[in-house]
């Protein structure tokens, strides 16, 4: 795990976006996966700016979703699809066929899993994945005590995730399940970017980097990964020894 501590959220977002831009410059047909949630918002801003300035070319890239709340679609503010489309895909020159996203409203969620697994295996592997960390250390919707041999799957949401979910939605929603790339798929990615900002993440950052490596804290499982870059701001890093 390579740890990069930046002064603040803005600097962290810019540095992580620069990393992504450099990756895509070297591998134009990158299969890229970026989490929803709040943390990547700054990265989206920089990536959109770079695309508009011609500093990054997404035309040969493919994009796959990390996760979604089961029962929510793009029309729900705060769903992963709404977040990714409104803040990223709709603002860059990208065609719909370059994107494979979970449909949280599909009748058959198992088919959604197979659809996304196939999109990834058709490409060979994930190239670059950008992940936030839940307050409980979850990665995507891989919650505490996650099995490690999973591809896309349906997950019962942890109480912490349900509690935190209210920050995303206009009204409280009774979310019970998620659909997510599994740890096997995620850990096979060529390169992983982990991002965390703010004091509220300081405790989970300590557990991730300095705590016991355990599936109770899924993010701690990345400790020995050489091809993982953990971008933090000073606040999130403030409790590290």
Considering only 37, 104, 182, 218, the residue that binds ligand F6R (CB under 6 A) is 37
- Within 8 A by CB and 6+ apart from 154, the residues are 70, 109, 110, 113, 177, 178, 179
Q: Where in 7-36 is the site for ligand F6R (CB under 6 A)?
A: 35-36
Print the binding letters for residues 58-87 with ligand F6R: x by CB under 6 A, - otherwise. --------xx------------x-------
Active site residues: 67, 136, 138, 143
Considering only 138, 179, 192, 207, the residue that binds ligand F6R (CB under 6 A) is 138
Q: Where in 168-207 is the site for ligand F6R (CB under 6 A)?
A: none
Considering only 78, 140, 182, 218, the residue that binds ligand F6R (CB under 6 A) is 140
Q: By CB under 6 A, tell whether 134 contacts ligand F6R.
A: yes
Backbone angles phi and psi of 209, in degrees to 5: -95, -40
**DSSP class per residue in 46-115:** HHHHHHHTTS---TT-EEE--EEETT--TTSTTSHHHHHHHHTGGGSS--GGGEE---TT-S-HHHHHHH
- Compute the least distance from the CB of residue 87 to ligand F6R, in Å: 12
Alpha-carbon distances of 50 from 18, 20, 86, 226, rounded to whole Å? 9, 11, 17, 27
Which residues sit at the interface with ligand F6R, rule CB under 6 A?
35-39, 66-67, 80, 132-134, 138, 140
């Amino acid at each position: 795990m390579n740890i990069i501590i930046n002064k603040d959220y803005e600097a962290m977002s810019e540095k992580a976006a620069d990393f992504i831009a450099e990756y895509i410059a070297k591998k134009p047909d990158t299969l890229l996966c970026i989490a929803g949630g709040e943390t990547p918002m700054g990265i989206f801003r920089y990536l959109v700016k770079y695309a508009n300035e011609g500093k990054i070319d997404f035309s040969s890239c493919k994009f796959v979703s990390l996760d979604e709340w089961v029962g929510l679609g793009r029309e729900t503010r705060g769903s992963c699809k709404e977040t990714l489309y409104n803040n990223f895909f709709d603002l860059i020159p990208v065609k719909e066929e370059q994107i494979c996203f979970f449909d949280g409203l599909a009748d058959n969620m198992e088919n959604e899993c197979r659809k996304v697994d196939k999109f990834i295996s058709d490409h060979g592997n994930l190239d670059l994945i950008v992940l936030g960390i839940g307050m409980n250390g979850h990665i995507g919707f891989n919650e505490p005590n996650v099995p490690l041999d999973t591809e896309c799957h349906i997950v019962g949401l942890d109480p912490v995730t349900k509690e935190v979910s209210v920050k995303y939605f206009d009204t409280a929603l009774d979310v019970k399940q998620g659909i997510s790339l599994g740890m096997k798929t995620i850990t096979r990615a060529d390169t992983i970017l982990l991002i965390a900002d703010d004091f509220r993440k300081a405790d989970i950052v300590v557990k991730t980097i300095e705590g016991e490596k355990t599936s109770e804290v899924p993010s701690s499982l990345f400790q020995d990964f050489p091809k993982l870059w953990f971008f933090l701001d000073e606040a999130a890093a403030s409790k590290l020894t």
